[in-house]
Chains A and B, each alone.
Chain A
């Protein structure tokens, strides 16, 4: 499987996905007009990865903010992780949010309640 390394832009996050280490990281802003196009390779990669995953998969999500068009795609990403977990693999989701950013904390809690995989909420302190 390929290593994915997508550089961030003012409207899209930096994404790295490493099949050797099982570490996935999404960081930055996610506000593209067409989110499906941006997230498709990410969702496809996870689907492929789930066929022969590492024993432990760690997903770090550190978003500054995201639009509702992305929110659906991000849910698709988490649904792939939910399947991975159902198949008895260890999945750790680290959801980062800046101090005082209640919107981002709440967004993480929303996803956690939908996909039923525990999130580790991590506050970033300056």
Chain B
């Protein structure tokens, strides 16, 4: 699996890397990553409101990963024995921050994920606002988080389309890669 992950990682990797990680995704990893990114941006000229937007989207992206990293038993290996295995890379491009996350999903989940992201990507900013408010006010709260608000919120805050890829691992499992951009020069 290591070679497969190296290839996925390679595809995810772009720009100047701020943080890159592969392993167990837990609450401490999220807190530490946020702390690290904050420290790295502290003395930069990036505007405060953009920094806050970046932290907000980063938390949302990593917690979304956290809630969906149930690693299938048959995929755990000696190098990666974690039951909550995920990957993320935060990088800086000339005019945008890039947050790319990855986790394994069963093949039968792909259509649902695609449909959800395609729908979000098809909406205007005004429609996203209404969709967000509708889900906030109507959707049942799940144990897993904000009841499906995460991706809508990311699309709304970044104003950019969500990019995704599915890399085939075997007949049953794919590696789902989601990438979002936070512009700092407009």
A-side interface residues toward B, CB under 8 Å?
10-11, 31, 33, 36, 64-72, 75, 98, 100-103, 106, 110, 113-114
Contacts and interface: CB of A to CB of B under 8 A. Distances in A.
Interface string B35-78: 10000000000011100110110011001001000000000000
A64 B52 contact: yes
Interface in B50-109: 52-53, 55-56, 59-60, 63, 66
Given A11-B31, A110-B132, A69 B145 contact: yes
Contacts of B146: 67-72
Contact of A36 (B59, B132, B141): B141
Contact of A98 (B49, B63, B66, B147): B49
Contact of A33 (B53, B63, B133, B141): B63
B27 A68 contact: no
Contacts of B147: 72
A68 B49 contact: no
Interface string B149-160: 110010001000
B116 interface: no
A88 B36 CA distance: 48
A64 to B, nearest CB: 7
A71 B56 CA distance: 12
A36 B56 CA distance: 19
A11 B35 CA distance: 11
Contacts of B55: 65
Given A10-B31, A31-B63, A68-B146, 17 more contacts: A11-B31, A33-B145, A36-B141, A65-B52, A65-B55, A67-B56, A67-B59, A68-B150, A68-B153, A69-B63, A72-B149, A98-B52, A101-B49, A102-B49, A103-B53, A106-B129, A110-B136
Using C-beta atoms within 8 Å of the partner chain, give the interface range for chain B: 20 to 34
A114 B137 contact: yes
Contacts of B52: 64-65, 98, 101, 103
Nearest to B149: A68
Given A101-B49, A102-B49, A110-B136, A67 B141 contact: no
B63 A67 contact: yes
19 contacts: A10-B35, A33-B27, A65-B52, A65-B59, A66-B56, A67-B60, A67-B146, A68-B146, A68-B149, A68-B150, A69-B63, A72-B146, A72-B149, A75-B136, A98-B49, A103-B53, A110-B129, A110-B133, A114-B133
B30 interface: yes
A103 B56 contact: yes
Contacts of A106: 129
A72 B136 contact: yes
A75 B137 contact: yes
| Most chain B CB inside 10 Å of its own CB: which residue of A68, A70, A103 | A68
A33 B66 contact: yes
